[in-house]
Amino acid sequence: MCGMPSPAYETLRADIIVAMKARDTATTTALRTADAAITRAAMDANVEIADALVLTTLRKAVKNLTDAKAEFAAGGRADLVAANEAEIRILERYLPRALPSEQVEAL
């Protein structure tokens, strides 16, 4: 597995180092968890880490966090809801922005 690494993955890895130096534990933990999931997905599929794999893995992580957030809210766990919202915001920085519904309808 040699070749050009994914720019999205390289950005995520660089941001882990920045977060660690800033002692931002929430960001460091979220990005390290995402890094582990991306690496595991690449190993499971026996492929190199590409932008498509990074985006797919991050989308899946955001979906899982959103689902868990709903369950925590139903259980009255505001602390866990807030933690999940923070992690979702961190991971969404690495996903492409969705078009607003008005622009989608115009297309």
**Predicted confidence pLDDT, tens digits, the chain (107 residues):** 456 678 999 999 999 999 999 999 999 999 999 999 999 999 999 999 999 999 999 999 999 999 999 999 999 999 999 999 999 999 999 998 865 556 556 65
- Which H helix or E strand runs over 58? helix 51-74
Structure tokens at 11: 């950005």
The helix/strand/coil state of 48 is: coil
Residues 6+ apart with CB under 8 A from 28: 16, 19, 20
Q: How far apart are the first and last CA of the chain?
A: 40
d(CA 104, CA 79): 35
